[in-house]
Amino acid sequence: MKNKLTLIFSVVILLLLVALIAGDLFLKKPNLQKNIYEYDLKELRKVDPTLITYRESLNFAINSESVYGVAVDTADQIYVSGNDKLWIFDSQGKLQSSMKVRGDAHALCVSESGNILLGVGNRIDVRRPDGSLNNSFQIKGVRAYISSLAEKNGRVYIADAGQKIVHQYTIEGEKINLIGAKNLEKGIRGFVIPSPYFDLLLGRQGELWVVNPGRHAFEAYNNDGDLISTWERTSMQLDGFGGCCNPSHIAMLSDGSFVTSEKGLERIKIHLPSGDFKSVVAAPNQFDEGTKGLDLAVDSQDRIIVLDPSRKMVRVFELKE
């Protein structure tokens, strides 16, 4: 009986050996041509908790069917645009006022002077700090779609995702310049914008930082539209940006670091001024899957204000102690 078992076992092992050798010889070898853009979202959604340096300290819901943009003024008041409406909250989320606006403002900014700029389709409404309409002007072009705004010293920078360009206007509505048009002699490669997310901001020295999402790049321009700096990070890991076009939104901390939000893989991170990854503000598991358009703002305390369009909430993140 023992011999029989030994024999059966031996034969099975022999057949396994045959299978092992045949498998090694004939079966397809592991594909060495690794697809560098291939990503397993399940794996990439996992973030090492030690890299998350922020915690969610406050959140409050917005009573609106949709929310589009968020901005912060110098007094740390939080502005949120939604369906035909604009809400103003204090830094703790208490509603201060609200007003009806002319259309859905997908772009919103509050300048140092207190002016509130709203981008609705191809139109810019400039409102005074009290909310009254000061001025309104349109961007030419049937494909114009304003996705982000910034204003300083009477100059308005308008990110036009539809025409893939940045317009420079006076606050009165006079056109000054076009920024970012392809000009290889000047080292400008042109914006690649496959989806309607195209953000910009003004840096600490007044330079204009524009996201080139299709290239996973950040580009800095001076007032004359000359390219003065650029960095890009393509990676599905935390150290860069992946997918067709990311980051979708940006903001800047007081030390010049960039806060970035992404779609596809919903996450918010901080990159140093050099572009290198610094830390995670919020991991993908803190958002609903499929969330797009996580607009960002930073207040004077370096709190990161995130507009979550899926949950229709403003979510405030603070550095962990």
Partner 1 sequence: MSEILKYISRTWNIKKLVAILSMFILFLTSGFPLFAQQQRFPKPEFESGYTQPVTSMPEARSDFFAIFDVLVLIVALSLISWLILKKRSRRGVLAVSVFSILYFGFFREGCICSVGSLQNVTLALFQPEYSIPISALAFFVIPLVYTLFFGRTFCAGVCPLGAIQDVLLLRPVTMKRWLQKVLGLIPYIYLGLSVLYAATATDFIICRYDPFVGIYRFDATFFMFAIGAIFLLLSIYVARPYCRFFCPYGVLLNWMSRFSKHHLTITPNKCIQCRLCEDSCPLGAINKPVPVKVMEDRQSATKRFISLSLIIPLLMVLGGWTLSNFHENLAKVNPKVRLANELMSFKPDVMLPSVEIEAFKSAGTPLTELYSQAAIIIEQFYIGAWILGAFLGLVFGLTLSSLSVFKYREDYTPDKGECVSCARCLKYCPVEK
Query: Where on the chain is the footprint of partner 1 (CB under 8 A)?
Result: 3, 6-7, 10-11, 13-14, 17-18, 20-21, 24-26, 32-38
CB 107 within 8 A of CB 69: yes
Rounded Cα distance between 56 and 287, Å, is 12
Decide if 208 contacts 150 (C-beta within 8 A). yes
- CB nearer to partner 1: give 35 or 274: 35
Tell me whether residue 7 or residue 133 sits nearer to partner 1 (CB atom).
7
Smallest separation (angstroms) from partner 1 to the CB of 140: 35
CA distance 122 to 146: 6
φ, ψ (nearest 5 deg) of residue 225? 90, 15
Rounded to whole angstroms, what are the CA distances from 2 to 5, 6, 7, 15?
5, 6, 9, 20
Q: Which residue has the tokens 């973030």?
A: 47
Q: Please state, in angstroms and rounded to a whole number, the distance separating the CA atoms of residues 142 and 315.
A: 35
Length of the chain: 321
- Shortest CB 36 distance to partner 1, Å: 6
Q: How far is the CB of 30 from partner 1 (least distance, A)?
A: 10
C-alpha to C-alpha distance for 261 and 245, rounded to whole angstroms? 11
- Closest approach, Cβ 194 to partner 1, in A, equals 15
Taking the complex as a whole, how short is the minimal distance between the CB of residue 10 and partner 1, in angstroms?
5
Angstrom distances, CA of residue 272 to CA of 55, 143, 218, 295: 19, 34, 12, 19
- Considering the complex, what minimum distance in angstroms separates the CB of residue 234 from partner 1? 12
Residue closer to partner 1, measured from CB, 245 or 280:
245
Toward partner 1, which CB reaches closer, 34 or 140?
34
Cβ proximity to partner 1: between 10 and 63 the closer is: 10
Shortest distance, CB of residue 215 to partner 1, whole angstroms?
Answer: 15
Range 46-51 contact pairs with CB under 8 angstroms and sequence separation of 24 or more: 47/238, 47/267, 47/280, 47/283, 47/284, 47/285, 51/238, 51/279, 51/280
Nearer of residues 10 and 66 to partner 1, judged by Cβ: 10
Judged by CB, which is closer to partner 1: 1, or 184? 1
